[in-house]
Chains A and B, each alone.
Chain A
Amino acid sequence: MLASLSYREKSLYASLVSEIVVYGSYFFLHRQNTIDKVAGMIVSIIVLQIILQSLIAAFTRNRVTDERDKLIELRGYRAGYLMLCSLMVLGLGMLWFHATVGDLHLDSRMMGLHFLSVFFSMLVIADITKTATQILAYRKAL
């Protein structure tokens, strides 16, 4: 199956796997998160991506990308952007609601981590949406 995939597709599968592996732990261990863990996760996704992408580049002879790859990339970015905007509107709406009702009792020491978690989650979900949309487009031939 791997041989039938283009360079871009292999690269996308590697990105999706590394995103799910690294970010998955972030979502499942949300309550135990600290700033250090979030920073560690960002470093680990970068390192994992560099290793996987280097391996794919090393073992793929034909690394041609063309107009269809660009089109699929744009579709992915559009889906990711729409997801990010939707989540941002939802997040702002929830903040507004809690601020209006007045039941937002956040520990000031944890406030930064809470907001970091929320914004980071939005970015992660948007990024996974982008990658998944691109893979789907490749699977459907476009």
Chain B
Amino acid sequence: MPVIRNQIRELRAAREMTQQDLADQVGVTRQTVIAIEQDKYSPSLETAFKVAIALGVPIEKCFQYDPRGKR
């Protein structure tokens, strides 16, 4: 399990939002959204907040820290 997990895919799907829509709102590339969703890239705190704002949820609903996870 990764150190930082996220529920972006589920939250995005619930809002019928595409990866490109989210990328445009956050100001990142679609490839970065894909990397975050696949837990291959942990975004900066600033981007994490922007993702949470774009999805309209508190940041802890989007991202969770797992101290036993492996990077």
Please report A residues at the B interface, Cβ cutoff 8 Å: 4-9, 62, 64-69, 138, 140-142
- Other A-B contacts than A64-B29, A67-B47, 15 sampled, CB-CB below 8 A, are A6-B31, A62-B29, A62-B30, A64-B27, A64-B28, A66-B27, A67-B32, A68-B28, A68-B29, A68-B41, A68-B43, A69-B32, A141-B38, A141-B41, A142-B41
Contacts of A5 in B (CB 8 A): 31
Give B12-55 interface residues, CB cut-off 8 Å to A: 23, 27-32, 34-35, 38, 40-41, 43-44, 47
Please report B residues at the A interface, Cβ cutoff 8 Å: 23, 27-32, 34-35, 38, 40-41, 43-44, 47
CB distance B30 to A6 under 8 Å? yes
Contacts of B44 in A (CB 8 A): 67
CB distance A65 to B29 under 8 Å? yes
CB distance A9 to B41 under 8 Å? no
| Given A67-B43, A67-B44, A67-B47, residue A141 in contact with residue B34 (CB < 8 A) | yes
Return the chain A residue nearest B29 by Cβ: A6
Contacts of A138 in B (CB 8 A): 31
Contacts of B29 in A (CB 8 A): 6-8, 62, 64-66, 68-69
Minimum CB–CB distance from B67 to chain A (whole Å) comes to 21
Minimum CB–CB distance from A44 to chain B (whole Å) comes to 31
Minimum CB–CB distance from A91 to chain B (whole Å) comes to 36
What is the CA–CA distance of A98 and B8 in the complex, to the nearest angstrom? 60
